Structure 1
Amino acid sequence: MSEKNREGKRTARERLAVEREKQKSAEKRRRTLIVGASVVCVLGLAAVIGVVAANAGNDEESEAAGPVVAPSGALGKDGTAIPVGKQGAKATLTVWEDFRCPACKAFEEAFGPTVHELTEAGQLKVEYHLVTLIDGGMGGTGSRTAANAAACAQDAGKFTAYHEVLFRNQPMESDDAYADSGKLLDLAGKVDGLVTPAFRSCVEDGTHNGWVAKSHQAFQKEGLRGTPTVLFNGENIYQDSSMTPEKFRRMVEEANKG
């Protein structure tokens, strides 16, 4: 065999190897989302038990959480949605999430960059609803305390950046580290200009705890059981195992053509 032919076969093998690596990466992303969807189902069952055991006194718990003080700019039927992006965008993504939920972190890692790019381009608006599913299912207050801190960041105009920080530094699901306001304030230091006396007071005083409780009640009233619940223009897309950031981008672009 000539040197030229050997070189041609070697190049073909290298191209094939590169293509196989791309396929492996795509399959890994797909499996991550499938596993995430499975976690949602498990958490949904835990939530059913938690609702009976921990949320039977829902009204009393809401009162204990304090008055309902919505963060700046909150929208939606119950005033529980934190909006991100141009409100005139034709495509709407609705996300119900819990900062202690590992499947929510998986969604943020896989789709977050694409979602941010589309919101910044004015093609997509996102409505974030913060819930306390893990607190109810596993005990603790980290879901609520982190949600309150995120609402405080919304008051400061820093919600998106702090949202990323909370998921990037998420503790193990069984670790209620986010119940510590000091931990949340330390993480806020990663967002330029967020830690101010007003923000610190908001976090330490639990200013939005009542609003967080109201948001979780809205989650239950909608009949939702798992996080994340992700709706695109009203259609649940999270449990679609074929969904990828690229497919989601095409859906948004198509919606903006209409």
Structure 2
Amino acid sequence: MSEKNREGKRTAREKLAVEREKQKSAEKRRRALIVGGAVVAVLGLAAVIGVVAANAGKDDDSEASGPVVAPSGAQGKDGLAIPVGKDSAKSTLTVWEDFRCPACKSFETAYRPVIHELTNAGQLKVEYHLVTLIDGNMRGSGSRNAANAAACAQDAGKFPAYHDVLFDNQPPEIDDAYADNDRLIELAGKVDGLDTPAFRSCVEDGKHNSWVAKSHQAFDKGDFSGTPTVLFNGKDIYQDRTMTPAKLKQMVQEANKG
């Protein structure tokens, strides 16, 4: 390994250490909001998202070989977005996520109820982009394998439910449990009708691995600061420390009035 590569890896570890300290500080501030045993629901994106620098590490397996096979119904540039919600919705939330990313789970925990409410009502469309940032930073292939499995779920028309299951059962960041396809198939059992021979074959064959790699490359080229990256109608709302689920809902409702 060259000295340059060693220095790059040391820098990546140092950045991870700094960002984890930020996560701990953010968690202490959040706990301070507990009143009478109930958490005050003011989870601004900047408070809950412990960003891991986007260029902190690269996954040696990210350059997957084979043809790029986008999942059924993928949209956007190069077919890299998995849409949820009606195309007729006036507002679009673009979310870049990694299924191994703890900060992404924090975002999902806080914002999922209102996102489901708005997409089900036809007021919001969400475009999910899947990346493999943690595979590069922590080593492993769980981010990629989980993203491939989620794309397989999209083929089966079950992406939203399986997406939620993956975050609900997310292993600790240092545990590359999602590298095990058997675990991903086991979790598919929590989604009605998903665990089929076609889904299993898709997961085990890594059918969408090259598509996942291309999605991560787009993330790198996007000059984003980390995951999750959340854009509302094209505007990055990550750094808005006043952002809450209620505020997001208000923004969507106001856009629908226009």
- Do both share a fold (TM > 0.5)? yes
Question: Which residue identity lines up with residue 25 of structure 1 in the other structure?
Answer: V
Q: Following the alignment from structure 1 to structure 2, what is the Cα–Cα distance between the partners of residues 23 and 187?
A: 32
Tell me whether 1:218 sits opposite 2:218 in the alignment.
yes
Question: Which residue identity lines up with residue 43 of structure 2 in the other structure?
Answer: R
Aligned partner of 1:48 in structure 2 is: 55
Q: Following the alignment from structure 1 to structure 2, what is the Cα–Cα distance between the partners of residues 114 and 152?
A: 25
Q: Following the alignment from structure 1 to structure 2, what is the Cα–Cα distance between the partners of residues 222 and 78?
A: 14
Tell me whether 1:197 sits opposite 2:197 in the alignment.
yes
Question: Which residue identity lines up with residue 36 of structure 1 in the other structure?
Answer: V
Aligned partner of 2:91 in structure 1 is: 91
- Contiguous gaps of at least 5 residues in structure 2: 1-33
Q: Which has the larger radius of gyration?
A: 1
TM-score by length of 1: 0.83
Q: Please say if residues 101 and 134 of structure 2, whose CA atoms lie closer than 8 Å, have aligned partners that are also in contact.
A: yes
Aligned partner of 1:3 in structure 2 is: none
Tell me: CA distance 1:88–1:168, structure 2 relative to 1, closer, same or farther (3 Å). same
Match of 1:21 among 24, 30, 35: 35
Q: Secondary structure at the match of 2:145?
A: helix
Aligned partner of 2:43 in structure 1 is: 30
Aligned partner of 1:128 in structure 2 is: 128
Tell me whether 1:168 sits opposite 2:182 in the alignment.
no
Tell me: CA distance 1:160–1:22, structure 2 relative to 1, closer, same or farther (3 Å). farther
Shift of 1:108: 0.4
CA deviation digits over 1:45-93, x for unaligned, max 9?
A: xx42314xx56xx9xx53x442100000001112100000000110000
CA deviation digits over 1:123-156, x for unaligned, max 9?
A: 0000000000000111000000000000000000
CA deviation digits over 1:106-125, x for unaligned, max 9?
A: 00000011101100100000
Aligned partner of 2:252 in structure 1 is: 252
Q: Please say if residues 151 and 159 of structure 2, whose CA atoms lie closer than 8 Å, have aligned partners that are also in contact.
A: yes
Q: How does 1:113-152 map to 2 (within 5 A)?
A: 113-152=113-152
CA deviation digits over 1:154-174, x for unaligned, max 9?
A: 000000000000000000001
Tell me whether 1:227 sits opposite 2:227 in the alignment.
yes
Question: Which residue identity lines up with residue 126 of structure 1 in the other structure?
Answer: V
CA deviation digits over 1:152-205, x for unaligned, max 9?
A: 000000000000000000000010000000000000000000000000000000
- Length, aligned pairs only: 225
| Percent of matched pairs sharing the same residue | 69
Q: Following the alignment from structure 2 to structure 1, what is the Cα–Cα distance between the partners of residues 145 and 225?
A: 20
Question: Which residue identity lines up with residue 122 of structure 1 in the other structure?
Answer: G
Shift of 1:30: 3.0
Q: Secondary structure at the match of 2:43?
A: helix
Q: Secondary structure at the match of 1:251?
A: helix
- Contiguous gaps of at least 5 residues in structure 1: 1-19
Q: Please say if residues 140 and 176 of structure 1, whose CA atoms lie closer than 8 Å, have aligned partners that are also in contact.
A: yes
Q: Following the alignment from structure 1 to structure 2, what is the Cα–Cα distance between the partners of residues 36 and 23?
A: 19
Higher helix share: 1
Aligned partner of 2:13 in structure 1 is: none
Question: Which residue identity lines up with residue 40 of structure 2 in the other structure?
Answer: A
Q: Following the alignment from structure 1 to structure 2, what is the Cα–Cα distance between the partners of residues 121 and 35?
A: 28
Give the aligned CA root-mean-square deviation in angstroms: 1.9
Tell me whether 1:66 sits opposite 2:73 in the alignment.
no
Tell me whether 1:112 sits opposite 2:112 in the alignment.
yes
Q: Following the alignment from structure 2 to structure 1, what is the Cα–Cα distance between the partners of residues 182 and 38?
A: 41
Q: Following the alignment from structure 1 to structure 2, what is the Cα–Cα distance between the partners of residues 205 and 124?
A: 34
Q: Secondary structure at the match of 1:78?
A: helix
Q: Following the alignment from structure 1 to structure 2, what is the Cα–Cα distance between the partners of residues 237 and 119?
A: 19
